[in-house]
Amino acid sequence: MTPLVLILNGPNLNLLGVREPAVYGRDTLDDVRALAERRATELGLAIDFRQSNHEGVLVDWIQEARGKAAAIIINAGALTHTSIAILDALSAVELPVVEVHLSNIFRRETFRHHSYVSLAARGVICGFGPKGYALALEAVSGLIDGAATP
Ligand code: DQA
């Protein structure tokens, strides 16, 4: 069966393309979804690509991934830097997690340098724009195959 990867996007990522284009670029979230779908197909993966502005909805989706998804890719937006609830959900679900950010959060304000999500993630990809989602899928593919070291 084709492994399913849950790709979650947090607050304000629905505004991609119009929101601070100097930081996040001109691609919309639909463009990112299309890119992720293409790469997933090449890698033999299926994706479930979602976005919510609400912390609790993201927590629900992470919990529901148990027994359904093989891995989670998450760009939690600003919740990355604040949400222990998302960290706890990611820790509880016991799936490989790859954290993605479009921007290089370490070149930005210091409050973006800390990530709760990272505590539950196998790795982090940031600063490569939408391509980061394709890179995360490659990482996930290796993790699912057991090709990557723990
Ligand atoms: C972001 C970085 C976060 O600091 C910010 O709050 C976002 C987007 C990124 O993809 O670069 O909303 O996660």
Stretch 135-147: mean pLDDT: 89
For domain 4-144, give the fold.
Rossmann fold (3.40.50)
Bridge partners (DSSP) listed for residue 74: 8, 99
* Res 150 pLDDT > 80: no
Sequence-distant (6+) residues with CB within 8 A of 118 are 99, 124
**Whole-prediction pTM:** 0.95
Distance 104 CA to ligand 1 centre (A): 9
- How confident is the prediction for the chain on average, in pLDDT? 95
Distance 65 CA to ligand 1 centre (A): 23
Nearest to 118 by CA among 92, 93, 138, 90: 90
DSSP of 28-79: -HHHHHHHHHHHHHHHT-EEEEEE-S-HHHHHHHHHHTTTT-SEEEEE-GGG
SS3 81: helix
Which one of 79, 83, 101, 113 would you pick to mutate in the ligand 1 pocket, going by the greatest count of ligand atoms within 8 A of its CB? 101
Active site residue 54: no
- Tens digits of per-residue pLDDT, 53-109? 999 999 999 999 999 999 999 999 999 999 999 999 999 999 999 999 999 999 999
Task: Identify residue 109 by its one-letter amino acid code.
Answer: E
Which one of 111, 112, 133 would you pick to mutate in the ligand 1 pocket, going by the greatest count of ligand atoms within 8 A of its CB? 112
Judged on CB neighbours under 10 Å (0-12, 13-18, 19+), 131 is middle
Sequence-distant (6+) residues with CB within 8 A of 7 are 36, 47, 48, 49, 50, 72, 73, 74, 133
The gap from C-alpha 26 to its chain's centroid, in whole angstroms, comes to 19
Active site residue 116: no
